[in-house]
Amino acid sequence: MTNISTVGEFLLLGFSDSRELQLLHATLFLLVYLAALLGNLLIVAVTTLDQRLHTPMYFFLKNLSFIDLCYISTTVPKSIVSSLTSDSSISFLGCVSQLFLLVMFAATEIFLLTAMSYDRYAAICSPLRYELIMNKTACVCILAASWLNGGLFGLLFSASTFSLTFCGSNAIQQFFCDVPPLLKISCSEVHIAIDVTVAAGFIFDTICLIYITLSYVFIFSAVLRMPSSEGRTKAFSTCLPHLTVIIIFLFTGIFAYLKPPSDSPSALDLLVSMFYTVVPPTVNPLIYSLRNRELKAHIVSCDSRTTEWPGHRDTIRGASLSQYL
């Protein structure tokens, strides 16, 4: 990318100018970060060490937790340090790196969440063909495609954004480097490259959202045919939080990128950005994994029995709703 910018560093927006509120913000963000760190690391460790959890569902959960760890570590630690030291500056290269990593991890997570919804659909709606559909090769290919897709969008967004000229204010109206606040301080009047990139990202998010919604529609249709009212209640109480978090993640990101720019920072901008950068990595361990009775049982269990990749009779043959919902 080429850049004729005269800006050597940027200033990130703090949550307050008050020292007491800065310390409060740092404390709250630190607690949230530690909670996300603990929850996601626990899932990665358990699903890696316990051979009984080497199934497609937990393969995707483990990688989702790893992505969440990377995702929240891209923005929150820097914000904590800025609040503690009262130094909100970030170098030009640091801003480029942060934007690239942020978009890459976000796009990878969206693709992986879409794959996970398909995994649930295949397990519940096509149980007899599940072992053929979600074999080990297919899972690895899906994961590779997720990272490739994320890296491509990260490169496109960072290259198109920092090919613009920055020659005036260097104050970013956000607590991390993001496309909308960077466009506000750009001196370039033509944003064709980034506009095309944002449009491509919007189309990608829309396709994923439609695919996820359709998958859950078929899942709910299968659940409604369950004879047990208790089973239906359990399925809905598990699936609806999944879908809710995905919708919040996608819609807040879309809203932040497509809403008209404002001249001054607002509390709404900060709140919306937290919903797509901080909230998902923190609540995903609770929503996707720690509510799962099987995973919690494995966390406290010291049993060393092993289970093979799909094909063993103790895996998902029959698509047990108690495991996949």
**Domain ranges for the chain:** 9-324
Contacts of 272 (CB under 8 A, 6+ apart): 252, 255, 256
d(CA 103, CA 246): 16
Long-range contacts of 215-218 (CB under 8 A, 24+ apart): 215/117, 215/118, 215/120, 215/121, 216/117, 216/121, 216/242, 216/243, 218/121, 218/125
Closest CA to 94 of 194, 152, 32, 170: 170
pTM of this prediction? 0.86
For 293: left if phi > 0, alpha if psi spans -120 to 50, otherwise beta; the answer is alpha
Three-class SS of residue 291? Answer: coil
Four-way CATH pick for 9-324: 3.90.1300.10, 1.20.1070.10, 3.40.50.880, 1.20.58.110: 1.20.1070.10
Give the sheet arrangement for strand 9-12, strand by strand. 89-91, 9-12, 171-172
Can you count the helices (H) and strands (E) in the chain? 12, 3
User: Where do the DSSP E strands lie in the chain?
Assistant: 9-12, 89-91, 171-172
Q: What is the pLDDT along the chain (325 residues), one digit of tens a residue?
A: 444 446 778 999 877 778 888 899 899 999 999 999 999 999 999 888 888 888 888 899 999 999 999 999 999 999 999 989 888 899 999 999 999 999 999 999 999 999 999 988 888 888 888 888 899 999 999 999 999 999 999 999 999 999 888 887 888 888 999 999 898 888 877 788 898 999 999 999 999 999 999 998 898 888 888 777 766 776 676 677 778 888 888 888 888 888 876 666 667 788 888 889 999 999 888 887 655 666 666 666 644 443 444 443 334 333 445 455 5
